């Protein structure tokens, strides 16, 4: 008996854009997530996948509707796995601000009340959801990870901490050093408490400085991003990555902002980047 309930399915580039619902044990609530299955997966072939983590205020549907990723995923034979950004439901704690609570889980395992009961997003995605989709869907076990903003932060920390799990990692405008920006300070204090030592395992720059190995890396950042100066710490990430034994590719894209227009402009390059490692 499957653990998944199919909520919707639409034809897209000879594949299917699906939305599933399941009872998430890690989060103690009902969750939905989106999946794009390329035509190869509908023809009895098991395919590699890219896990996409979205940013603040997003759900699992923003990327699938706005990024334009399905055409390239269909060509390359890549599945796209797109989780939600936080636990959901009336019983789940929330906050009036856009950058905390529902839609702003920050991909951490919360330790503070009232958040700890449901906000276990790191374990939900890195363990429960990955295991679920590989058990229930035609995937071959090879996986890469990408994300935007808060989701770029999530992609980087998961790739650094779960190095054996991911073939490659990419990000668009990631919150690279959340311990030292307003969004991260608010989220980490609220979810994790005042002990900053606890924050380190959820901070990409800190993890890199501690010697965590990074899979092949691609990062794009728009030069006209209105969050660049205060929130994202791109220059610090660039400096840190350059010090690694296997530095990645970090690109400042002139004139681009923080929106999905930026993501849509470069998502093809990111998917082709991941495909090159997923099929080696």
- Spell out the SS3 assignment of 78-96: CEEEECCCCCCCCCCCCCC
Residue in 84, 86, 225, 275 annotated catalytic = 225
More confident position, 118 or 242 = 118
Tokens at 77, concatenated: 């034979």
| Catalytic residue check, 258 | yes
| Catalytic residue check, 86 | no
* pLDDT band with cut points at 50, 70 and 90 for residue 244: confident
Task: Work out the average pLDDT over 121-146.
Answer: 97
Residue 124 makes CB contacts below 8 A (sequence gap 6+) with 24, 26, 27, 31, 83, 87
Say what the pLDDT of residue 21 is: 98
Task: Work out the average pLDDT over 130-136.
Answer: 97
User: What's the pTM value of the predicted model, to 2 decimals?
Assistant: 0.97
pLDDT tens digits, 168-184: 999 999 999 999 999 99
pLDDT tens digits, 35-54: 999 999 999 899 999 999 99
Residue in 64, 126, 146, 149 annotated catalytic = 149
């Amino acid at each position: 008996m499957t653990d998944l309930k199919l909520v919707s399915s639409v034809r897209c580039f000879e594949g299917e854009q699906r939305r599933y619902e399941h009872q998430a044990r890690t989060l103690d609530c009902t969750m939905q997530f989106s999946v794009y299955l390329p035509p190869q997966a509908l023809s009895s072939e098991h395919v590699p996948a890219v896990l996409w983590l979205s940013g603040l205020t997003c759900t699992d549907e923003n990327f699938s509707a706005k990024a334009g990723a399905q055409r390239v995923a269909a060509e390359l034979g890549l599945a796209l796995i797109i989780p939600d950004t936080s636990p959901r439901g009336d019983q789940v704690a929330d906050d009036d601000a856009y950058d905390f609570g529902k839609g702003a889980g920050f991909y951490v395992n919360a330790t503070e009340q009232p958040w700890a009961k449901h906000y276990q997003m790191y374990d939900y995605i890195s363990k429960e959801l990955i295991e679920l989709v590989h058990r229930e869907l035609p995937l071959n076990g090879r996986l890469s990870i990408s994300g935007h903003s808060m989701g770029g932060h999530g992609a980087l920390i998961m790739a650094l901490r779960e190095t054996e799990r991911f073939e490659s990692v990419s990000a668009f405008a990631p919150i690279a050093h959340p311990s030292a920006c307003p969004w991260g300070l608010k989220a980490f204090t609220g979810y994790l408490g005042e002990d900053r030592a606890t924050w380190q395992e959820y901070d990409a720059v800190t993890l890199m400085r501690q010697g965590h190995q990074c899979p092949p890396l691609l990062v794009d950042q728009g030069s006209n991003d209105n969050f660049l100066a205060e929130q994202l710490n791109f220059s610090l990430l660039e400096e840190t990555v350059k010090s690694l034994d296997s530095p990645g590719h970090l690109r400042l894209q002139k004139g681009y902002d923080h929106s999905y227009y930026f993501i849509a402009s470069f998502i093809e390059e990111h998917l082709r980047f991941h495909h090159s490692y997923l099929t080696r």
